[in-house]
Structure 1
């Protein structure tokens, strides 16, 4: 079995690894570190919680041990999609460089530019940043990337999926062509891989697990739930969440609850606190100081339940998370892998439960297709399961039966079928009968006489005038007769025809030449 001492790492790095209590590298570390030490480009693919961060920090530190940094020209660059992930990578560097004199700077939003400028001005060996803040510093003339020797894109698929493609391309254009580039991610879709081929040169592909796999040590389940009413869905889902938390009892030491929307994060956290649960929200709209404080509380155990958006789904390393609850089915199936990857880390057991309403069943099917397994259904007492495929038909019948017997359904043809001179209102039974015996398309031709009669009524005069104008515009009796003939039952009709009738003005019968001669 490979050990860290066999990987040709710097002795001071090995000492820091031993202090951290690690002896054996994970598969992604054992596969990527040797290639990274040789200066080759690396494309690393592995499920979350397998030690991807150390697989690029350890060889990077070893390579940077020789040489020194210059002002405003970092020697290495690590790009991360979120502030939390960037802060975690910075912690890893602090841990493994404790016996070395390497400097680092963390460029993330929510922190003063002045403090970050001061670090860059002194010169840094390692620059860890989010793309937006990095470009802000560059555009202000405070940073040069021409001295970058090693560049790492962590959680590459998330970076590209979040709309960072233009920023990533620009950052790459600002770095030297001779740099070493490493891409790390838990998933690598074909279209993402095509983009990475532009950035990497003959990379060594290290794939230690099937793409988009979930840890075998994570027990997964899903609650199929149908809300009683649309406006009650949120409150009923929150009740189910509390029921799931209570069911776990003492086995739940801490948990992360994931929601798709930031507003749901706030509402869910507030609801849990209202019912006596120790919970706090975290999402992108909160101040960085508040987010950091919340995460620190979750890590040290003072906070039991973290309600989060996907900002916390990627890369956050809290080894002892016992449960993950998906309050919503993620819109992107890859996000499910990252969400439940917050539990069951470093070989521990974990549990992941998801709540699915009928409109999310398509997303659930996409997730099961991605992970190539069916997620077991969990039945809860008192919870109405989502309808099966034939449910919409049944629901329609129930809705039909639920109508009051005394109120017949309104027919759109009712007002049209009544003649204007009708004196008595038809009974509900008559309306139903009339709807059942409504004339087909071929029986609709005799409606023209009805219109003619309606034209005699003073209150319908505007409508009659409109009908006359339409008939006159089309050539009168020929068009009227044509429509009667097509109906099949209008032939031989003696009643008056709306329009010119049988009278044809003589000037219309003249040919063009005759008109011109006259």
Structure 2
């Protein structure tokens, strides 16, 4: 079996690896490190959690052992899609390069430009950055990439999802053509393959697992949710999440809950804390200092549940994560592989549970098509406690008891409404009209005939209009009464 001592790494690097407690490399490390040390381009394809970061950090430290950094001209460049992944690469560099004199700089958003400029001005051997912040420094004239000897692109498929591919292509063109390129990804989309064909020269292809596969040590299950009502779907989904967390019991050491939207991250975290769970959110809209403190607390064991968007799905190395909960089925199938890859790392056992509502059927089918197998289903703990509860799961999930059925009332016809006799209605309306009309001699003379004004000669319409305009008030009797009944008319005969 291959050991790190067989890989021709720098003795100082081997000493740091031994102190970190590692003796045997992972498959991606044992196959990627030798061609990288030979100066070849490397295209590494492996599922998340297999040690890709050390697969490029270890040979990079060894190859940069000779030489000296120049101001504003880094000797190597590592591109990462997120701040958290870039910070993790920096931590790996500190761990394995502590017996060397190599220097590094971390360029990520949320940090002062001034502090980063100071590090670049001194000259660094390794520059670790996100694409956006790197280009910001370049456009400000604080950075030159003409001295880059080794360029690393980590989590390239995540770069594609986040829209960084144009930035990556621009950065490639700013670096020397003679650079060595190490390109790592968990999946190979067509756009990623196009970039590798354009910017990599005869790369050593290292593929240690089928694309988009998950570790066999992860126990995966789907729990289907059928909300009782549409307006209760969100609350019932959060109740199901709490039931799944409680159902794991002592097996749950710590876990990550993934949501598709940032707003849901905050809502779920707030709900869990309200019900007494140790939880905190992390997503792209939070300040970098808050994100760093939250991640540190989770890594140190001070935080049990991390509620995250996909910003935490790629590359975060927390070896002791026991569970991953997918509160939402990811809209991109590849994200499922990266999400559950946070557990079951380095051969450890892990558990991944995913909640699927009826509207998630299309996304769930996409995930299973990518995995080329069906994910086992698990009974809903809120509806499968007893046979009776399974039958009336809607009432149990909504927290309201079912109302007993009353067949004798259900078959009884609806009562008929009582209608007024036809003779009564005209008399009542006639009395109301007469009471509201002003008492005039013309009205008395015309009483009993009740003829409309327009039928009283050729001038009836005109004079009726004049009388209407002379009235002080028009009393309404409701929407069901015709408008002409509410007017007062006088009898003026044309002589």
TM-score using structure 2 length: 0.77
Q: State the alpha-carbon separation in 2 of the partners of residues 182 and 272 from structure 1.
A: 42
Measured against aligned partners, the alpha-carbon deviations of 1:344-380 in whole angstroms (never above 9, x if no partner) come to: 0111100000000111111111111111111011112
- For 1:203, the equivalent position in structure 2 comes to 203
Q: State the alpha-carbon separation in 2 of the partners of residues 3 and 215 from structure 1.
A: 22
Measured against aligned partners, the alpha-carbon deviations of 1:124-173 in whole angstroms (never above 9, x if no partner) come to: 00000000000000010000000000000000011122101111111111
- For 2:282, the equivalent position in structure 1 comes to 282
- For 2:44, the equivalent position in structure 1 comes to 44
Q: Is the 8 A contact 2:224 2:380 kept in 1?
A: no
- Equivalences for 1:363-512 in 2 at 5 Å? 363-383=363-383
- For 2:90, the equivalent position in structure 1 comes to 90
- SS of equivalent residue, structure 1 residue 281: strand
Deviation at 1:206, TM superposition (A): 0.1
The reply to whether residue 59 of structure 1 matches residue 59 of structure 2 is yes
Q: State the alpha-carbon separation in 2 of the partners of residues 277 and 222 from structure 1.
A: 22
- For 2:228, the equivalent position in structure 1 comes to 228
* More displaced stretch, 151-160 vs 193-202: 193-202
Gap change, CA 1:406 and 1:68, over 3 Å in 2: farther
Q: State the alpha-carbon separation in 2 of the partners of residues 258 and 148 from structure 1.
A: 37
Q: State the alpha-carbon separation in 2 of the partners of residues 101 and 85 from structure 1.
A: 23
* More displaced stretch, 14-23 vs 226-235: 226-235
- Equivalences for 1:281-300 in 2 at 5 Å? 281-300=281-300
- For 1:110, the equivalent position in structure 2 comes to 110
- SS of equivalent residue, structure 2 residue 354: strand
Q: State the alpha-carbon separation in 2 of the partners of residues 183 and 118 from structure 1.
A: 29
Task: Structure 1: state its 5+ residue gaps.
Answer: 386-401, 408-518
Measured against aligned partners, the alpha-carbon deviations of 1:228-280 in whole angstroms (never above 9, x if no partner) come to: 12221111100000000000011101000000000000000000000000000
- For 1:168, the equivalent position in structure 2 comes to 168
- For 1:451, the equivalent position in structure 2 comes to none
Gap change, CA 1:75 and 1:233, over 3 Å in 2: same
Deviation at 1:196, TM superposition (A): 2.0
- SS of equivalent residue, structure 1 residue 202: coil
- For 1:158, the equivalent position in structure 2 comes to 158
- Equivalences for 1:351-362 in 2 at 5 Å? 351-362=351-362
Q: State the alpha-carbon separation in 2 of the partners of residues 234 and 198 from structure 1.
A: 46
What is the CA RMSD across the aligned residues, in angstroms? Answer: 1.8
Measured against aligned partners, the alpha-carbon deviations of 1:9-45 in whole angstroms (never above 9, x if no partner) come to: 1111111111111111110001000000011111101
- SS of equivalent residue, structure 2 residue 222: strand
* More displaced stretch, 293-302 vs 366-375: 366-375
TM-score using structure 1 length: 0.74
Whichever of the two has the greater Rg, that structure is 2
Task: Structure 2: state its 5+ residue gaps.
Answer: 385-389, 391-409, 416-495
- SS of equivalent residue, structure 2 residue 320: coil
Deviation at 1:226, TM superposition (A): 1.2
Q: Is the 8 A contact 1:225 1:383 kept in 2?
A: no
Q: Is the 8 A contact 1:32 1:42 kept in 2?
A: yes
Q: Is the 8 A contact 1:78 1:129 kept in 2?
A: yes
Deviation at 1:102, TM superposition (A): 0.3
- For 1:263, the equivalent position in structure 2 comes to 263
Q: State the alpha-carbon separation in 2 of the partners of residues 82 and 49 from structure 1.
A: 16
